[in-house]
Structure 1
Amino acid sequence: MTKYFSLSLLALSALTPSAMAAEEVNVYSYRQPFLVEPMLEEFTRETGIRVNVKFAKTGIAEKLVQEGEYSPADVLLTVDIARLSELTDKKVVQPVNSEVLEANIPSQYQDSNNEWFGLTTRTRSVYSSKERIGKLGQDFEYLDLAKPEFKGKICTRSGKHPYNISLVSSMIAHYGEAETKQWLEGVKANLARKPQGNDRAQVKAIKEGLCDVSLGNSYYLGKMVTDPEQKAWADSVYINFPNQDSTGTHVNISGMAMAKYAPNRENALKLMEFLSNDTAQTMYAEINFEYPVKPGVEPSQLVGSWGEFKADTLPLDEIAAHHEAAIKLLDEVKFDL
């Protein structure tokens, strides 16, 4: 897995115990450089604490297990509740008790044992063709995707991508395994094509007339709107927030945790608290098109234009508990085949 890691230009020193100075903090990140470097640079400006970063596509949990007590990692940044849960399952993180984090981050977006904390939120939304479907109603539910009216009209990425696994996990949490399996069978029967590509590829397929609705994270709409090559895709769809009359739209997070053997624990805590405060939360909102996790911090003007919605209030660690069951159901219905 180490071949996926690269040292950020934020620091030139190697992440080894002998190289660590008193005023630095070491970060392992699944989040892409352009998404987090502005916040980390601002943290350094405000505190004088240098941030060393290793970015990875996969394998952070495995790398931490391999490094053990000699790991230089202090703070872990990742996306999706499933990857945060993986860190706790592999016992490579430690609890963090902080009044600042408790005040800034709603309890539903914190681990019950204080081993991870949400930083931003994003919805698992449904995109619909403006031309052929129109805006979906206030009463639209995720369950409706299994109805016959959507036969041959749905596009999605792999069911076993973490974003979809988390959605299926939330369905299990609300409806149980039997009903969720029946729902998955119905959605599979309504697919316009075999699951493939990423979330933006599904919106492109809607623009091209291959399907009429798709599943996708909310922030991708912002990314498409601001990309000249993809703006036409974004302009062809509405973003919809399902389950407004029932449980609320499924919300996932990007998040953070403190590494189990963090050698710079005090600086790690300062960074985690900074990332939950107004400055970083506002930067997240403007740069990433995500929703700030801290109450009172407004989303960007573009994200705000999509309208308000009711979010599912079920704690994410309860949803994460159904992760393995969700994978099992996706395999049973052969969703990706």
Structure 2
Amino acid sequence: MKKIVLSTAVLAGLLGAGTVSAAEEVNVYSYRQPFLIEPMLKEFTKETGIKVNIKFAKKGLAEKLKQEGEYSPADVILTVDISRLMELMKLDLVQPVDSKVIDSNVPAKYRDSEDRWVALTLRSRVVYSSRDRVGKLGESFDYMDLAKSNWKGKICTRSGKHPYNVSLVSAILAHHGEAETKKWLEGVKANLARKPQGNDRAQVKAISEGLCDVSLGNSYYLGKMLANKDQIAWANSVYINQPGQKAYGTHVNISGMAMAKYAPHKENAQKLMEFLTSNAAQEMYSEVNYEEPVKPGVKRSKLVASWGDYRADDLPLETIAENHSKAMKLLDEVKFDL
């Protein structure tokens, strides 16, 4: 009998130890590319001992979470673009996070009013211009100027339906209304040097090759190109310009996070979310990714700061997300990508 009791006790101990070990992990579903976030996640594990398991995807995370339902292993969802965060909320795939740490680290305008999502970084949608053929665009330059005839055959961009461009169109909709935005899209399409294609870096490459003179792109890609020996020449062929400084400011979007509705490691998930808003992680986002931190007091990297200060559009992120369906409709109507 003593042997049986001892065996049971040992077994219980082993099971208990296994449970503790299994709990010291957190599962992340991410739209963000591995090289962009792994430095922060490794630092989190180093500080806390909590292992981070990551699943990366280019698309379909919302559908995956919906299919998995309450059996989903996801704890934290990392994504880019406010529309994808709003999609998660509309599908009821996230839960609120009550954290004084996050609230003190991230300004209210970069958090959901019901604590269902939190911004991690800011990225401005800039206009790159050829150093040789165009030069630096002035402070009066606005996104609306891209539809003017003097840019005919000189603009490059990725698909109009890419989330980065859809969010820009959504912001323009909010400021200018449907009729003027449609007219603007028609003008920009008429000025394209080629059919929309590739990513933001591909547009800068096209500028360096003389295929176009200006392009739309996120600001941090300039840093990424300068850090890549095969792309330095592309980066050195352009200036970075922040449009809308005499109007409503430069359009900004975010990278952000949310806690999955059925997070199996809720406590660890909150620890990770709090860490990603901390000084250490915010500084890493700035230095490694060339993005702009959302936490006040955390400085931009020297490179990002060298691009100059600018005034960001203060349009609510929710408003941008709410306009996405209208923006997509207009892009279809003008056949922007065709």
Tell me, yes or no, if structure 1 residue 301 matches structure 2 residue 302.
yes
Aligned equivalents of 2:28, 2:195: Cα separation in 1 = 37
User: How far, CA to CA, are the matches of 1:300 and 1:207 in structure 2?
Assistant: 25
**Bigger CA drift: 146-155 or 98-107?**
98-107
1:21 and 2:22 matched: yes
Report the residue type matching 1:294 in the other structure. Answer: K
| Aligned residue in 1 for 2:85 | 84
Displacement of 1:180 after TM fit?
0.8
CA distance in structure 1 between the aligned counterparts of 2:199 and 2:20, rounded to whole angstroms = 39
- After TM superposition, the structure 1 = structure 2 runs for residues 144-159 of structure 1, keeping only pairs within 5 Å, are 144-159=145-160
**Residue in 1 aligned with 2:185?**
184
Aligned to 1:265: 266
User: Aligned equivalents of 1:163 and 1:42: distance in 2?
Assistant: 29
Matches within 5 A, 1:191-202: 191-202=192-203
Question: 1:176-227: per-residue Cα shift (whole Å, max 9, x none)?
Answer: 1111111111111111111111111111111111111000000110111111
Identity %: 71
Separation (CA, whole Å) in 2 of partners of 1:46 and 1:104: 19
Q: What are the equivalent positions in structure 2 for 1:31-42 lying under 5 Å apart?
A: 31-42=32-43
> 1:119 touches 1:275 (CA, 8 Å); kept in 2?
yes
Distance 1:58 1:33 in 2: 14
Residue of structure 1 in register with 2:213 after alignment: 212
Matched residue SS, 1:149? helix
Q: What pairs up with 1:1-337 in 2 under 5 angstroms?
A: 21-337=22-338
Displacement after TM superposition at 1:111 (Å)? 2.1
What SS does the aligned partner of 1:21 have?
helix
Partner Cα distance (1:228, 1:26) in 2: 34
Indicate if the aligned counterparts of 1:112 and 1:317 stay in contact, CA closer than 8 A.
Answer: no
Which residue of the partner structure matches residue 6 of structure 1? none
Q: Provide the C-alpha distance between the structure 2 equivalents of 1:88 and 1:251, rounded to a whole number of angstroms.
A: 21
How far apart, CA to CA, are the structure 2 residues paired with 1:248 and 1:45? 39
Cα distance in 2 for partners of 1:234, 1:22 equals: 45
Give CA-to-partner distance per residue, 1:88-134, whole Å, 9 cap, x none: 12111112222222221122222233211110111100001111111
Aligned residues: 320
Output the amino acid matched with 1:331.
D
TM-score by length of 1: 0.92
Matching residue's letter, 1:304: A
1:244-289 CA-to-partner distances (Å, cap 9, x unmatched) read 1121100111110000011111111111011001000001111111
**What letter is aligned with 1:264?**
H
How far apart in 1 are the matches of 2:153 and 2:33? 34
User: Per-residue deviation at 1:19?
Assistant: 11
The structural deviation recorded for 1:20 is 7.7
Cα pair 1:104 1:295 within 8 Å, conserved:
yes
2:15 paired residue number: none
Larger of the two Rg values belongs to structure: 2
Query: Aligned letter for 1:101?
Result: I
Cα separation, 1, equivalents of 2:226 and 2:201: 11
Give 1:54 shift: 1.3
Match of 1:15 in 2: none
CA distance change for structure 1 residues 150 and 51 in 2, over 3 Å: closer, same or farther? same
Check conservation: 1:154, 1:191, Cα contact below 8 A: yes
Structure 1 counterpart SS, 2:215: strand
Structure 1 residue 296: deviation in Å?
1.0
Alpha-carbon separation, structure 2, partners of 1:82 and 1:186: 25
SS of the residue corresponding to residue 112 of structure 2 reads coil
**What is the letter of the counterpart of residue 38 of structure 2?**
E
Q: CA 1:49 to 1:150, structure 2 compared with 1: closer, same or farther past 3 Å?
A: same
Q: The residue matched to 2:165 in structure 1 has which SS? A: helix
Q: Distance in 2 between matches of 1:113 and 1:168?
A: 26
SS state at 2:185 partner:
helix
Q: 1:125-148 deviations in whole A, cap 9, x for unaligned?
A: 000111111100011110111111
Contact 1:27 1:52 in 2 (8 A): yes
